[in-house]
């Protein structure tokens, strides 16, 4: 993977933690105003405006997310403590369009994958670079520097992924994406 600023770590959470996190997420209310179900914590994110601001403050991140927050800090994955969390749920066939994360988010974007693997595609914004990366269950993906600002990332809308030379059907995948918000 030749993308500067991209860090990928397998087994970032244990199987027991994965189960606890999925159970915690499923106790929360889902937002259904976009194609996939999402949850927002810390600050509400506006998909159309692609922004988040101080008036959208919802409160602290939930207690169930704190062990992950601490592990991100202990691993030096984020400069500051994350104050925004988006939970994305992808049923087989669902994905997310190619995008660079909004400028109102800080310099590191940390996503934990739960439930099922998928392939994430990367495309260089101002160049020909194209890469794909399998995001395993329980892994952590960190985007910073060029990976955060100079590459788009996307999850194709399809029901299976080619992983290790074979088609792997997707199951339900839930991601927890931790960010900091730039409020000024």
Least distance to ligand AKG, CB of residue 56, Å:
16
144 near ligand AKG (CB under 6 A): no
Among 84, 94, 111, 180, binds ligand AKG (CB under 6 A): 111
Nearer to ligand AKG, 116 or 177 (CB): 177
Q: 128 to each of 17, 50, 52, 123, 168, how far by Cα in Å?
A: 38, 25, 30, 7, 28
175 near ligand AKG (CB under 6 A): yes
Q: Is 6 exposed, middle or buried (0-12, 13-18, 19+ CB in 10 A)?
A: buried
- The contacts of residue 90 (CB under 8 Å, 6+ apart) are 36, 96, 118, 155, 170, 172, 173, 174, 175
Nearer to ligand AKG, 88 or 180 (CB): 88
84 near ligand AKG (CB under 6 A): no
Least distance to ligand AKG, CB of residue 68, Å:
14
Number of neighbours of residue 99 by Cβ within 10 angstroms: 10
86 near ligand AKG (CB under 6 A): yes
Q: 174 to each of 55, 76, 146, how far by Cα in Å?
A: 27, 23, 25
State which of positions 37-76 bind ligand AKG (CB under 6 A): none
Q: Which spans of this chain sit near ligand AKG (rule: CB under 6 A)?
A: 86, 88, 96, 101, 111, 153, 175, 177
């Amino acid at each position: 993977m030749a993308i500067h600023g991209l860090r990928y770590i397998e087994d970032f959470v244990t199987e027991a933690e994965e189960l606890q996190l999925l159970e915690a997420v499923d106790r929360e209310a889902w937002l259904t105003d976009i194609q996939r179900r999402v949850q927002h914590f810390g600050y509400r994110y506006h998909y159309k405006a692609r922004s988040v601001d101080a008036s959208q403050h919802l409160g602290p991140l939930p207690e169930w997310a704190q062990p992950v927050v601490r592990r991100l800090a202990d691993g030096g994955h984020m400069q500051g403590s994350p104050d925004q969390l988006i939970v994305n749920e992808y049923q087989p066939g669902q994905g997310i369009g190619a995008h660079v994360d909004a400028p109102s988010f800080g310099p590191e974007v940390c996503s934990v994958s739960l439930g099922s693997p998928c392939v994430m595609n990367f495309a260089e914004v101002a160049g020909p670079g194209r890469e794909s990366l399998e995001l395993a269950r329980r892994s952590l993906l960190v985007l910073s520097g060029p990976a955060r600002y100079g590459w788009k990332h996307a999850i194709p809308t399809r029901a299976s992924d080619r992983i290790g030379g074979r088609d792997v059907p997707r199951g339900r995948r839930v991601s927890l994406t931790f960010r900091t918000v730039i409020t000024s």
